[in-house]
Amino acid sequence: MKYDIVDGRISPKGRLEVLSKFEVSKLLDTSKGGLYSLFRNCSLAVLNSGSYLDDGKELYERYKSFEIKVIQEERGIKLEVKGAPSVAFVDGKMIKGINEHLFAVLRDIIYVNDDISNNANFNLETSEGITNAVFHILRNANILHPLTRLTTVVCWGGHSISRKEYDYSKNVGYQLGLRGLDICTGCGPGAMKGPMKGATIGQAKQRLNGGQYLGITEPGIIAAESPNAIVNKLVIMPDIEKRLEAFVRVGHGIIVFPGGVGTAEEILYLLGILLHPDNSDIPFPLIFTGPASSEEYFSRIDQFIQKTLGESAQKRYKIIIEDPSRVAKEIREGIKIVREFRRLNDDAFYFNWRLKIGHEFQKPFQPTHEQMKNLALHKDQEPHLLAANLRRAFSGLVAGNVKDHGIRAIEKYGLFEIRGDAEIMESMDILLASFVNQNRMKLPGSTAYVPCYKIIK
pLDDT score of 444 more than 60: no
Domain with residue 40: its CATH number is 3.30.1850.10
Contact (CB, 8 A) for 387 and 271: yes
Residues 418 and 356 in one domain: yes
At 402 the pLDDT is: 80
At 1 the pLDDT is: 58
Dump the DSSP string for 272-333: HHHTSGGGTT----EEEEE-GGGHHHHHHHHHHHHHHT-HHHHTT-EEEES-HHHHHHHHHH
For the segment 259-284, the average pLDDT, to the nearest whole number, is 96
Which of the four pLDDT bands, split at 50, 70 and 90, describes residue 442?
low
E-assigned strands of 367-444? 416-419
Alpha-carbon dihedral 357, 216, 53, 433, rounded to 10 degrees: 30
Does the residue 132 lie in any domain?
no
Out of 119, 150, 175, pick the residue that ends a domain: 119
Domain that holds residue 101: 5-119
Out of 93, 119, 145, pick the residue that ends a domain: 119
pLDDT score of 54 more than 90: no
Which of the four pLDDT bands, split at 50, 70 and 90, describes residue 43?
very high
**Better-predicted residue by pLDDT, 404 or 186:** 186
**Better-predicted residue by pLDDT, 114 or 181:** 181
The 10s digit of each residue's pLDDT in 285-311 is: 999 999 999 999 999 999 999 999 999
| pLDDT above 90 coverage of the chain, percent | 72
Residues 40 and 164 in one domain: no
**Better-predicted residue by pLDDT, 447 or 220:** 220
pLDDT score of 33 more than 80: no
Closest CA to 143 of 42, 234, 244: 234
pLDDT score of 192 more than 90: yes
Strand partners, 183: 153, 213
**Better-predicted residue by pLDDT, 318 or 78:** 318
How does the average pLDDT of the chain come out, rounded?
A: 91
Does the residue 126 lie in any domain?
no
Single-letter amino acid code for the residue at 36: Y
Residues 275 and 392 in one domain: yes
At 75 the pLDDT is: 64
Residues 141 and 232 in one domain: yes
Contacts of 211 (CB under 8 A, 6+ apart): 177, 182, 183, 199, 200, 203, 232
Residues 38 and 88 in one domain: yes
Domain with residue 345: its CATH number is 3.40.50.450
Lowest mean pLDDT among 59-63, 135-139, 299-303, 360-364: 59-63
At 207 the pLDDT is: 96
Does the residue 127 lie in any domain?
no
Does the residue 416 lie in any domain?
yes
Single-letter amino acid code for the residue at 114: D
Does the residue 232 lie in any domain?
yes
pLDDT score of 14 more than 70: no
Residues 194 and 289 in one domain: yes
Total domains, the chain: 2
pLDDT score of 90 more than 60: yes
Residues 89 and 153 in one domain: no
Which of the four pLDDT bands, split at 50, 70 and 90, describes residue 163?
very high
pLDDT score of 15 more than 70: no
Residues 189 and 74 in one domain: no
Residues 112 and 142 in one domain: no
pLDDT score of 184 more than 60: yes
Q: How far apart are the first and last CA of the chain?
A: 43
Strand partners, 233: 214
∠ CA 149-174-51, rounded to 5°: 110
Residues 397 and 429 in one domain: yes
